[in-house]
Structure formats: C-alpha cells, structure tokens
Amino acid sequence: MNQFKNAWAYAFVNWKYFLVLGLPVIAIEFMVAYLFTSLLEKNQYELISFFESNSLIIGLVLITGLIVQVSFIGGLYVSYMSIELNISINPINALAAGLSKFLPLLGASLLLNLIISIGYLLIIIPGIYLSARFSLFAAQIMFENNKVGESISKSWQKTDQYSTRLFMLTLGFLSLKFVSSLVFATLIPDGIIQLFILSVVDYMFIIPLGYIYFTLYKSLKRN
C-alpha cells in the first residue's frame, strides 16, 4: 500500500515535468483515436475513398506516433533517473535520449506486446503477470545498454523474487485505470472531448506505475 501511495505522491509532486513529457504522447494518442473512431462511421466505399485521399497523412501520423511512443518509453525512465539524481534534464532531452535507443526499445516492445497480448487472451490475468515480469526491460536498455533479448531475459530474472508484489501492484493500477476510463466514457458524451480525456487518463496511470518499476530497478542496482 505504501508503494502505491508513494508512487501517486511522486507523480503529483512532479506533475509539471511529466505533463510536458507526456504532451506529445497524449496528442498522438488523441489523433490516432480520433482518426480510427471517425473511420467507424464510414461505409466500405467511403473508407476506400478516405484512404486513397489521405494515405500520406495517415502514414505520417502512424509513423510519428510510433516514434513518439517508443521514445517516450525510454524517456520516461531517463526522467525518473534525472529527478532521482537531481540532474537537470528537460523533458525534450529525455525524449531524445529515448529516441537514441529507438531500435532496441522498438524491438523489445514489439516482441513483448506480442507475448503479453497472448497472455491477455488467456483470461487477462496471465497478461497482467507478464506485464509485471517484463517491466524492467526499458530500464535495462536505457541504463545497462542491453540488447532486445538480453533486456527481456534480465527483466524476467530480476523480477522473479518480487513477482507476486509486482503482479498485485500492476493489477491494482490497471484495474483502477479501467474503472476510471469506464466512468469517464459513461459520463462524457462520445466525441473529441471524451477521446482527449481518455488519453489523459491513460497517461495519468503510466507515470506512477512506471515509477514503481523504476524504484525496483534502482533497489536491485544498489544491491
């Protein structure tokens, strides 16, 4: 419970920093969500026409989104470390640091998303467990210069002793995020505002949960 409270306290104390860090992510998530939501309202012929007319824009949005999302994964851990060590690294430079490790972060993310997705298909719980066990991969890449396979295997090894606690914390955060998103989706009418709020809610839960993973990495590093 203390870890849960401390993670939220940390996120609130540093909310200005993480707001700037997350703005590109929130903007991209919002744009992609809006794009695909609008497509649901079109028939087959309208979809074909839309893709033919906007293929370049769609491609740019998706590629930009991929770059921003992957850079954010690494940049988030650089941000945690800079605050921890009281080193002045602005959010843009943190994202740039994530971008510098784009290929290993991308490779590990794609592989883990596939593995974890299979876990979620098996009644959800295995997916949450796998998410917790592989939670240190980004820290391994950013701070230990691990390659894709090594970052994944190291994360699995290092979290073994803490698997139950990590699972429960991850389950708690994801459950709370699901309930929060459901409440906002119910209260706010469908449209741009709802999509934006849901993007913000999603981001709000990433920061404290990621911080819990980071503190575990730091604790293991000291030992």
What pLDDT, on a 0 to 100 scale, did the predictor assign at position 68? 92
What pLDDT, on a 0 to 100 scale, did the predictor assign at position 1? 63
What pLDDT, on a 0 to 100 scale, did the predictor assign at position 88? 83
What pLDDT, on a 0 to 100 scale, did the predictor assign at position 193? 82
Contact 136, 213 (CB under 8 A): yes
Contact 197, 29 (CB under 8 A): no
Nearest residue to 37 via CA among 193, 200, 201, 179: 193
pLDDT, one tens digit for every residue, the chain (223 residues): 688 899 999 999 999 999 999 998 888 877 777 777 777 667 777 777 777 777 787 788 888 889 999 999 999 999 999 999 988 889 999 999 999 999 999 999 999 999 999 988 887 889 999 999 999 999 999 999 999 999 999 999 999 999 999 999 999 999 999 999 999 989 988 777 887 888 888 889 999 999 999 999 999 987 6
**Lookup: tokens for 197:** 């709020």
- Distance CA(151)–CA(214), nearest Å, equals 14
Cα-Cα-Cα-Cα dihedral sign, residues 160, 157, 178, 193: positive
Q: Write the DSSP string, 154-189.
A: HHHHHTGGGHHHHHHHHHHHHHHHHHHHHHHHHHSP
Nearest residue to 23 via CA among 75, 60, 62: 75
CA dihedral 97, 99, 100, 106 (to 10 degrees): 130
Q: For the chain, what is the domain count?
A: 1
pTM (2 decimals)? 0.89
Q: How far is CA 98 from the centre of its chain?
A: 13
Which residue segment(s) compose the domain that 45 sits in? 2-222
What pLDDT, on a 0 to 100 scale, did the predictor assign at position 44? 73
